[in-house]
Structure 1
Amino acid sequence: MNDPRPMVHVSIVAWNSMSHIPTCLDAVIRQTYPKTMVTVVDNASLDRVMEWLREHTPQIHLIRNTRNVGFARGHNQAMRVSTAPYLLVLNPDVVLEPHWIERAVAAMEADPKVAAIGGRLIRFEYSSDDLKEVVPSGIIDSTGLVISRSRHVRDRGAGERDTGQYQDQENVFGLSGACVMYRRAALDEVKEGEQYFDEDFFAYKEDVDLSWRLLRRGWLNRYEPSLIAYHHRHARSSERTSNRALAQSHQARNIRISRLSYRNHWWLLIKNERPVTLFRDLPWIAWYELKKFMYLMVTAFPALRGGFSALSYHSRMRRKAHLIDQNARMTPSELRRLYFLH
């Protein structure tokens, strides 16, 4: 007898993720929900992750890119593989509790207005260098995304000890792209061309952009506390390098991340902010942007180039903003009233 429950398509984008992918996939395979398929997109990794996947997980669909195309495009590639009604976007350094998918599907099926659902992400470390046993830290990584009047978006509860303070199911501004399930019908309503995540972003804040677009279309982003997963926020280096080389590599990576994040933040505002709400909160926005600019001036000056590259795409982002407005069911003022922290 055929199982009537909907299929869930798990999408994982890997980039030099050999340290994490076995533990991540083991947790996916051990899910209590029976109808899942998995696609792993490899963004030209230099480790042996593809060889390991072919040898140990022949049932998983693999896509190998010849270059690093980023988080957004990688997940878009995977999400187009199937027509499954639910799509679980998962980082390779995230480990799911066994009932995660089953509970997420039940919650989505119970409320057809929910476009995306996520739960408690708790930070973890590995028990030893063999990277096998997950040791939860009890420190929250995310319980959804919140946005302030300054338009600063952050992971709610990040860095707090989990003492049960986020035990209520509730609608939130957005959900972390590290571990979130989407309803395909909702994504199809807000996609830009054939893109669910905006591929111009490459990486960082594309989950915020998608959350914002879903809200404008009238969908809900839902936090469900019974969905528990563990996130290894800071990956370890698997090779021995000198402290100086490690520091230089870390600094270069941080500057690149800061540049992308700074650029994408401006794109977020160009695409999703509107004058009616911008001017109401302009003092808070201006003060936040000034502080951020001064901070980058001192700590990561090259990252400021992200602001200039954001301006070069201004017209492109405005065209996308026009399409968002054409399809919107919620006004910017209503969204601000419901979801922005005051």
Structure 2
Amino acid sequence: MNEMSNRLVSIIIVTCGRRDYLRSCLDSIKKQAYSALEIIVIDNSLNPNFSQEIIKRYPEVKLHASLKNLPYCGALNKGIEISKGYFILCLNDDVTLDEGFIEKALGGFSINKKIGMVSGKILRSDGKAIDSTGLFLSIWHTAKERGYGLKDIGQFEKEEYIFGVNGAVAFYRREMLENIKIGSDYFDTDYRFFYEDLDTAWRGQNFGWEAYYIPEAIAYHVRGATARAGYGIDKPYARRYLNSDLHLDLIKNRYLTFIKNESFFRFVLYLPFILLYDFLVWGYILIFRPSLIKKFLLNLKYLKSAFKKRRLVKKVENQKMLDKNNML
């Protein structure tokens, strides 16, 4: 932990003007035991009065007021671009942190230098139910939040390696984000909402980075403020809780994610599960939301873009592997 004790942590929060949530989030950051912090708020509210409120109430915050409503990933990219931290903590504005969260989570990065992502135990706002204890890739090729919705009875108290981190409380080593970015984008701007955390985790894993879980680092997430409570990413029939645009993001981004990151061998291996999942999803859409089919077809350009990015990522990945071998 001594190695990490003076490293600057940049905290990036994207907000659309939800005062109460943002205040609770920032107040919890001010109480952190770890003090080497840079707090950046990307204000997407397009409300000058709200921006002034933040500056007045939290003078230590570096505020970037967007001139237009940026997609979530674009806003995160802007925050990382202007940040200076050795570590990057991306927070939803409906998240609050225990006082020791950052100090304890930093311990995960000291396990080894290839730890590029750290997750704490993320609980619902009532502190009783689990929101996430780590992000995993399901056999259906969906994002799987371990423990999602379960009562916290101490069943996830072991430090261990995981696949990735939940986007609501995503702690990254900056070196990893720089290593895996596509062009100038840390997070893929073809994503609006959903799957950006799995995409980043998967890309990191493909580049040789690892993720680690620290159960003592506790955070609380008001699931339902950003996506309705009761909605599970891996439950195809829960899509009724989403409006059509968010539903489209969810479907589209799943395809973008595995197109860019999955190996051909694993894709073939898991193809029966992928097809079964797609049968359920598209069957539901055909019956209950047929208008989404046209919307999806109008967004096929993103699939084409994903294949281009796959080639670019593989090229960079292979070049970095070659450079590494030449150094041995």
TM-score range, shorter chain: 0.7 to 0.9
2:306 aligned with 1:317: yes
User: 1:294-342: CA deviations, max 9, x gaps?
Assistant: 122333333334532442223321121112223447xxxxxxxxxxxxx
Q: Tell me the residue number matched to 2:256.
A: 267
What's the TM-score, normalizing by structure 2?
Answer: 0.86
CA distance in 2, matches of 1:208, 1:104: 19
SS at match of 1:192: coil
Instruction: List aligned pairs for 1:204-223, cutoff 5 A.
Output: 204-223=194-213
How far residue 254 of structure 1 moved from its aligned partner, in angstroms, is: 2.0
1:141–1:157 Cα contact (<8 Å) kept: yes
RMSD, aligned CA: 2.2
What's the TM-score, normalizing by structure 1?
Answer: 0.83
1:44–1:66 Cα contact (<8 Å) kept: no
Q: Tell me the residue number matched to 2:229.
A: none
CA distance in 2, matches of 1:214, 1:307: 28
2:141 aligned with 1:140: no
How far residue 280 of structure 1 moved from its aligned partner, in angstroms, is: 1.2
Q: Tell me the residue number matched to 2:180.
A: 190
The gaps in structure 1 that reach 5 residues or longer are 125-135, 237-250, 330-342
1:262–1:306 Cα contact (<8 Å) kept: no
Q: Tell me the residue number matched to 2:151.
A: 161
2:136–2:144 Cα contact (<8 Å) kept: yes
Q: Tell me the residue number matched to 1:127.
A: none
Instruction: List aligned pairs for 1:16-31, cutoff 5 A.
Output: 16-31=17-32
CA distance in 1, matches of 2:254, 2:48: 31
Q: Tell me the residue number matched to 1:172.
A: 162
SS at match of 1:200: coil
SS at match of 1:119: strand
CA distance in 2, matches of 1:24, 1:303: 35
Judged with a 3 Å threshold, the aligned counterparts in structure 2 of structure 1 residues 225 and 309 are, in CA distance, closer, same or farther, namely farther
CA distance in 2, matches of 1:4, 1:223: 19
SS at match of 1:80: helix
CA distance in 2, matches of 1:110, 1:7: 18
Instruction: List aligned pairs for 1:13-162, cutoff 5 A.
Output: 13-45=14-46, 49-124=50-125, 136-162=126-152
2:278 aligned with 1:289: yes
Matched letter for residue 36 of structure 1: L
Query: Identity of paired residues, percent?
Result: 28
User: 1:46-89: CA deviations, max 9, x gaps?
Assistant: 59532320220111111111222121010110111123110000
Judged with a 3 Å threshold, the aligned counterparts in structure 2 of structure 1 residues 306 and 185 are, in CA distance, closer, same or farther, namely farther
CA distance in 2, matches of 1:309, 1:224: 42
CA distance in 2, matches of 1:300, 1:35: 49
Judged with a 3 Å threshold, the aligned counterparts in structure 2 of structure 1 residues 252 and 120 are, in CA distance, closer, same or farther, namely closer
